[in-house]
Chain A
Amino acid sequence: MEDPYRILVIDDDDDIREVAQVTLEVMGGWEVLTARSGQEGLQLARSAKPDGILLDVMMPDMDGPTTLEHLRADPATADIPVIFLTAKVQAMDRKRLQDLPVAGLIAKPFDPLALSDQIASVLLRA
């Protein structure tokens, strides 16, 4: 049997990873992979080839924008749409993040029940 839509969630926060996984599986019917750091996320993105990536902006060691840079630099992952997951930011930081090659931004805290729809609508707009 073929696999369902596969999304990779990269966030160092255990709670966020867990709630995103549960809600995307139940509401979206998606296959959810998680990684707790940029490095782990890069590896998983290369090996599992997800259809989309939800990427936390603020992480220790390797932050979201840096992880994004690596994703884009590797032909194996360059085309995977990425959505930033970011704390409510000021308009200017938002602008800065949006100028990076991402499909969109989703603000934290998010409504877990609306997350799969939010991701879908960002991808629709991308």
Chain B
Amino acid sequence: MRGVGALERVLLVGLQDTVADTLRRRLGGRLALFASTTGADALKFLAAEPFALAVVNHRLDDMLGAELLEQIRLGPIGWHLPLLYCMEKGAGGILPSQLVVRYQLHRLIPHPLDAGDLTCHVAELLGLPLSDLPAGGRPAAEQAVRDVWTRVQSRVMERLNALVAACDALAGGAVDEQLRRNAEREAHKLAGSVGTFGFITASDLARQMENLLQSALPLAPERGYRLLELSGALIRELEHERPEDEPTLPHPDASSPLVLIVDDDRELCDRLAAEAERWNARTVTVFGLADARRAVAQYRPEVVVLDLSFPDDTESGLSLLRELTDAKPPIPTVVLTARTGLIDRVEVARLGGLGFLEKPVAASQVMDVVAQVVQNQRAQRAKVLAVDDDPNILLTLRALLVPLGMEVFTLADPLRFWETIDDIQPDLLILDVEMPHISGPELCRVVRNDPRWRSLPVLFLTARTGPDTVHRVFASGGDDFVNKPIVGPELVTRLLNRLERTQLMRKMAETDSLTGLANRRQLNRIMQRFLKLAERQGQPLSFALIDLDLFKDVNDRYGHLVGDVVLRRLGELLVQTFRGEDVVARWGGEEFALGMFGMAREDGVHRLAEVLEALRDEPFLAQDGQRFHVSFSAGVAQFPMDGTDLSELTRAADQALYQAKAAGRDRVAPAGWTCQTPTAAAIILVTPDAELEAQVVKGMATRSTAVVTCRETGEAVGLLDPSVRMLFIDAEVPGPPEAVDALVEKAQAMGVSLVALAGAAAVPEVVRALKAAEADMLARPLSLRALMQRTRRTASPNPVH
């Protein structure tokens, strides 16, 4: 390991001397540069001393650069050395991107080589500061992006105007499916493009419009109204001259945690990165401890996964762990070790390592632990809302508090206070005493009058310290005050004192001790916020109640300890499946509750059905070693159609849950569904395959959706009636091709969506007919999940009402 301030050894192979000069000039005295013109010399250099980096040119005096790469990677130097490769196209018959993959290159440098560019890459890789950025780097690119925005701005506004006109028409009750589709597309595109130019709020507004534009026509009046509101807000946002630099609310992607993986086991790294993506987490992977330190400084990861089974280097791994847990704020670290490793678990725990997983370990297990850590971490992270009309103060606060691991939200306009406090739900409020329109103490008095905010700590900032001011601050209900100009340590100490007390109390009061999920009280609080947001933003919001089937039997037969394992596991499955913006709570006993913001009832039914399918597959172990399985029943209700407040939604979800139980348990039912009145089948499946039929029927039953099955096309023709929305046709279905044509023709005439299931034994004529009809093709063996997704997109949104 290199000490701080040591020179970084860099080897240049086959590059001109001017390149070395530029590197030396730009990176000051921080590099020890070595140069060779042949691959043979390069290998000697690398064997003699450790290097931080090697830059290899495609053409060398004695071999091709690619050959040198091969010898480095497969020889004793191995995979740890970061490599840059200066490429030349066409030579060697291998694509540059394949070189990247095959030899784990850190960067490809385009040909012809630009020494300035190379310098930037080297500086970035080694974490060195650049004194002056050369042209062609970041500032030039920033300017170029701004130029593009200037060019396209008028075009974007034109497109926006067209979108607004379409929204006007739709909000006015127009029933024009083509217009709706175009508008939905346009909103989708706007969300992508304006966000790319830095208009985060505008992108978010466009995304909300896109969601609303997916509703059935004619638009419900409240949706139409909401659409107009959103388009107005979007126009206002985009009429700003420049993209906003610092949005008040965090970027939507801020919710996906950044995980740093430190491991020299490349295969595991790859699997972890893939698994992380499934969990909507971002990852950075490094293979060595020195890289790990740089990555920590550069990315500030939310969690680190650290493999301590580095050969010969356990001690330095432990010292990195110590640094991470001593950092301010500490960076939670999940530790992996080899089973045969000599590391003491106690030592790791003492150093603050969280989780301790023995390899071999499944990537999903690691991410399981990471997800838990993130969840705990986020629950602990304090949210501070600061209101001040002076942007410099807001910047100072941010600079002081963000490094302490707090989420800081700033607001310059006190008139937007109420919507902001509801959105953010801060743990502490900082108010400026003197502000235009409304003063800090006035605002504080109003806050104290709202029962929800009665105990919120409020800290004042004031430039005056006369007795009058002090009196005003305390009389209005403020807890403390800090003088301007802000003195960092004083502010931080006072603020931490206030936070520590309230957070501890809240955490104890709001978490279920067995599962670590929210308890009912916290669920109530979060649902109240969701309800407000849903109403204001015109977003769907669903609420579900989940009850383990025959749980009393589990407790009676296997004991309470095993019962607790089942409860905890279901809690984990729910947390894994639902996104950060959802709330998962233990409702009491064997019941769980779930608030899903931005999700319609039918989507909620599908997501929960997937949890149920996962739970069914999960074997539980009784104390005598016997295996058993469990299932649950659930009911899902949606705001506002099934209820406009939490108690109405609860009642609706509970009734659906009751119906699910009455229908034989082990299923998820939407509000309004009953097991007595058989629903008209929205879906027909034609297949000769009994196994497939059983699979689909079970999947549909889990979702409380009726499906009619038949074995041949002729029979299916007779079943088509106006209630049918979808027709699944197994392309292995026997019978004359004319029969398929007839069925397809009739289905198309009735507007039924066609989905073809095509496997190896598919009948070619049938496949042709279905392709000609532009049926959606699904390959066999069938993924039930893919099939269910099709039904979600097309099936009736509302089985019975």
Q: Which residues of A contact B (CB under 8 A)?
A: 1-6, 13-16, 18-19, 22-23, 26-30, 51-52, 58, 60, 79-81, 87-88, 91-92, 94-96, 98, 105, 107-113, 120, 123-126
- Contact of A5 with B151 at beta-carbon distance under 8 Å, contacts A16-B193, A123-B97 already known: no
Query: CB-CB < 8 A to A1: which residues of B?
Result: 111-112
Count chain B residues whose beta carbon lies closer than 8 angstroms to a beta carbon of A. 62
- Contact of A113 with B97 at beta-carbon distance under 8 Å, contacts A3-B89, A4-B111, A98-B277 already known: no
Interface string of B247-291 (1 = CB under 8 A from A): 000001100000000000000001001000111100001000000
CB distance from B659 to the nearest CB of A (A): 26
30 contacts between A and B (CB under 8 A): A1-B111, A2-B89, A3-B89, A4-B89, A4-B111, A5-B110, A14-B155, A15-B152, A19-B145, A22-B141, A22-B144, A22-B147, A23-B144, A26-B141, A28-B110, A29-B136, A58-B185, A80-B95, A81-B97, A88-B252, A91-B280, A92-B785, A94-B278, A108-B192, A109-B197, A109-B200, A112-B141, A112-B145, A120-B107, A126-B101
Binding site secondary structure of chain B: helix
A51 pairs with B141, CB closer than 8 A = no
B148 pairs with A19, CB closer than 8 A = yes
Please tell me if B786 contacts chain A, counting CB pairs below 8 Å.
yes
Query: CB-CB < 8 A to B188: which residues of A?
Result: 58, 87
B278 pairs with A109, CB closer than 8 A = no
CB distance from A49 to the nearest CB of B (A): 9
Query: CB-CB < 8 A to B108: which residues of A?
Result: 5, 120
CB nearest to B105 among chain A residues: A124
Residue B87 contacts which of A5, A19, A94 (CB distance < 8 angstroms)? A5
CB distance from A59 to the nearest CB of B (A): 10
Residue B253 contacts which of A13, A91, A105, A107 (CB distance < 8 angstroms)? A107
- Contact of A13 with B192 at beta-carbon distance under 8 Å, contacts A51-B96, A91-B278 already known: yes
Assembled-state Cα–Cα distance A112/B147 (Å):
13
CB distance from A32 to the nearest CB of B (A): 12
B193 pairs with A109, CB closer than 8 A = yes
A113 pairs with B104, CB closer than 8 A = no
CB nearest to A126 among chain B residues: B101
Q: Which residues of B contact A (CB under 8 A)?
A: 87-91, 95-97, 100-101, 104-112, 114, 117, 136-138, 140-142, 144-145, 147-149, 151-152, 155-156, 185, 188-189, 191-197, 200, 203, 207, 252-253, 270, 273, 277-280, 285, 579, 785-786, 789
Residue A18 contacts which of B114, B148, B195, B273 (CB distance < 8 angstroms)? B148
B270 pairs with A125, CB closer than 8 A = yes
CB nearest to A52 among chain B residues: B97
CB nearest to A103 among chain B residues: B97
CB nearest to A107 among chain B residues: B253
A96 pairs with B786, CB closer than 8 A = yes
Which of B88, B108, B200, B252 has the most chain A CB atoms closer than 10 A to its own CB?
Answer: B108
Residue B144 contacts which of A26, A81, A91, A92 (CB distance < 8 angstroms)? A26
Query: CB-CB < 8 A to B107: which residues of A?
Result: 120
CB nearest to B112 among chain A residues: A1
Assembled-state Cα–Cα distance A123/B194 (Å):
26
Query: CB-CB < 8 A to B189: which residues of A?
Result: 13
Top 3 nearest A-B pairs (CB, nearest first) are: A109-B195, A108-B192, A4-B110
B148 pairs with A51, CB closer than 8 A = no
CB nearest to A92 among chain B residues: B789
CB distance from A42 to the nearest CB of B (A): 18
B195 pairs with A113, CB closer than 8 A = no
B192 pairs with A16, CB closer than 8 A = yes
A26 pairs with B140, CB closer than 8 A = yes
B195 pairs with A27, CB closer than 8 A = no
CB distance from B521 to the nearest CB of A (A): 29
- Contact of A94 with B97 at beta-carbon distance under 8 Å, contacts A58-B188, A109-B191 already known: no
CB nearest to A121 among chain B residues: B284
Assembled-state Cα–Cα distance A98/B274 (Å):
9
- Contact of A16 with B196 at beta-carbon distance under 8 Å, contacts A4-B110, A23-B145 already known: yes
CB nearest to A19 among chain B residues: B148
CB distance from A71 to the nearest CB of B (A): 14
Assembled-state Cα–Cα distance A94/B91 (Å):
36
CB distance from B742 to the nearest CB of A (A): 28
